[in-house]
Amino acid sequence: MIRAATVADVPEIRSMIRELAAYERAAEQARATEEQLRTALFGEHPAARVLIAEDDDTGAIAGFALWFPRFSTWTGTRGMHLEDLYVRPHTRGAGHGRDLLAALAQICRESGFERFEWVVLDWNEPAIAFYQSLGAELLEEWRVCRLTGGPLEELAARAPVAGSRAL
């Protein structure tokens, strides 16, 4: 079963985020607290949404998908960015990942989103093969850029209008 997450799911969502980070060889980077997730997902202005996959036989949480809307200046339309898709190892192969992606595709269709995009680590061959089996195109000419820590602070210090706030 696929369902929308509730605030009661936050501890399990946090646990799965940490499991995913460990799998992606970056456990030390998964620092989000339950309170941060509660605010980000269920606060006054949610930053993202989450779907939960439950095992039909046991009712246990098998996985999750965390996503948020995005906008394309080229198409002039909204789209979906999938930040995390995770299915617990002992439940893999039962269709939970496919069902989560299908539910997200349905949200895209219902919302008029033209694009459904996410990133995958280049070494994660099982995930790449899975995504390609669903018809996903890997955009190899695009690279993810990231500023964090010192470089982010240094660039922010160069802002022409100190204290401006876009949000």
Catalytic residues: 131
* DSSP reduced 3-state for 115: strand
Count of alpha carbons within 13 angstroms of residue 73, beta-carbon side:
0
Give the type of residue at 76. G
Six token digits for residue 100: 């989560």
DSSP 8-state secondary structure symbol assigned to residue 136: P
CA 133, 139, 140, 143 dihedral sign is negative
Helix (H) or strand (E) holding 87: strand 77-87
CB neighbour list of residue 147: distance below 8 Å, 6 or more residues apart: 155
Instruction: Name residue 61's beta-bridge partners.
Output: 54
